[in-house]
Amino acid sequence: MIRVGILSRTRLVNANSIIKPSTFVRSFRTSLLLHREQPKNELKHTLEPNAKKTFQKQRDTYQRQKESTKQLIAKTQAYQKELQSTTKKNIETIIPKHENIYTIPNILTFTRIATTPVIGYLLCHNQTAWAMSFFIYSCCTDFVDGYIARKYNMGSVLGSIIDPMADKFLMTVCTLSLCYNSTMPLYLATLIIGRDVMLGFMALYYRFVSLPQPRTFLRFWDFSIPSASVHPTTLSKWNTGFQMVYIGSLMLRPGIEMMLVDSEWISALDYFLTGFGYLVASTTFISGATYLFSKDAVKIIGKK
């Protein structure tokens, strides 16, 4: 009896020491409540440093990407502007625009061309006074049209071509007329006319080879389409001036001889005109040679 009682008491104690399910659930709820009641500041202090670092990295990455994007956009815009300007220049070079040919210098040049046949007619009929008047007008317009073109920026490709052509036309007509009257020596007349004819053929040749496609007869004579520009050399300008003075002196020679009674003055005038004729012959020959060998005398539009 005693042993049985001890065993049953031991079993009772062991049974009471076992944790019941309800007790476990209550303890879990209690620990969960304690965890929920933990101060939120502790959790905030734990997560805040990592969040700041992550945000800072993201912001730095965004700023770098933003700066690189701005630089890329700026480079792209600069390249587009450069490409547009280069393309525009190339298009203007390949397809030249029609220029304004109705300028004051060009009009003066055309009037000089129109008066040249009148001068030739008057010289052939020994009307030197009227011929000299028109000749002085032509010489003055030759100076004035160049001055206006430079002063008021009215230069044109057409003007660079027709201005020397007008001078050559004037010199040729006056030379032929004075040679017809036996006033100018034949050798000098041949030299002046030969040089001008050579330069005329050169101008036509450069006009043809530099004319943009299509090369038609109408486009060839349409001088509003620039193709090549002529740049007279310094010696050529001096030569033109010498020729004008020499031809003007020959026109005035009959009147001067009538005014000079002494034969010595008349012979001195003859010596002066002969020496001046040699000077004109020299400058005419050398200036013509410079057009043949100079690279800057004729420039083709659009060719570097």
What confidence score (pLDDT) does residue 203 get? 74
Decide if pLDDT at 304 tops 80.
no
- Average pLDDT across the chain, whole number: 76
Averaged pLDDT, 85-112: 72
Provide the CATH number for the domain formed by 104-300 in this structure: 1.20.120
Bigger pLDDT: 118 vs 266 = 118
Bigger pLDDT: 38 vs 116 = 116
What confidence score (pLDDT) does residue 17 get? 47
The mean-pLDDT minimum among 68-72, 132-136, 238-242 falls in: 68-72
DSSP designation for 153: T
The 10 Å Cβ neighbour count of residue 173 is 18
Confidence of residue 142 (pLDDT cuts 50, 70, 90): confident
What confidence score (pLDDT) does residue 101 get? 73
As to burial, measured by CB atoms within 10 angstroms (0-12 exposed, 13-18 middle, 19+ buried), residue 121 is: middle
Question: What digits encode the pLDDT tens for the residues 53-70?
Answer: 776 777 778 777 778 888
Spatial distance between the Cα atoms of 101 and 174, rounded to a whole number of angstroms: 27
The mean-pLDDT minimum among 13-27, 113-127, 157-171, 236-250 falls in: 13-27
What confidence score (pLDDT) does residue 121 get? 94
For the chain, percent of residues with pLDDT exceeding 70: 69
Spatial distance between the Cα atoms of 205 and 291, rounded to a whole number of angstroms: 13
Decide if pLDDT at 200 tops 80.
no
The mean-pLDDT minimum among 117-126, 204-213, 283-292 falls in: 204-213
Residue type, 150: R
Spatial distance between the Cα atoms of 72 and 59, rounded to a whole number of angstroms: 20
Confidence of residue 292 (pLDDT cuts 50, 70, 90): confident
Degrees, nearest 5: CA angle 201-218-213: 85
Question: What digits encode the pLDDT tens for the residues 251-271?
Answer: 888 878 777 777 788 888 889
What confidence score (pLDDT) does residue 227 get? 61
Spatial distance between the Cα atoms of 205 and 81, rounded to a whole number of angstroms: 39
Question: What digits encode the pLDDT tens for the residues 4-40?
Answer: 444 444 444 444 444 455 555 555 555 555 555 445 4
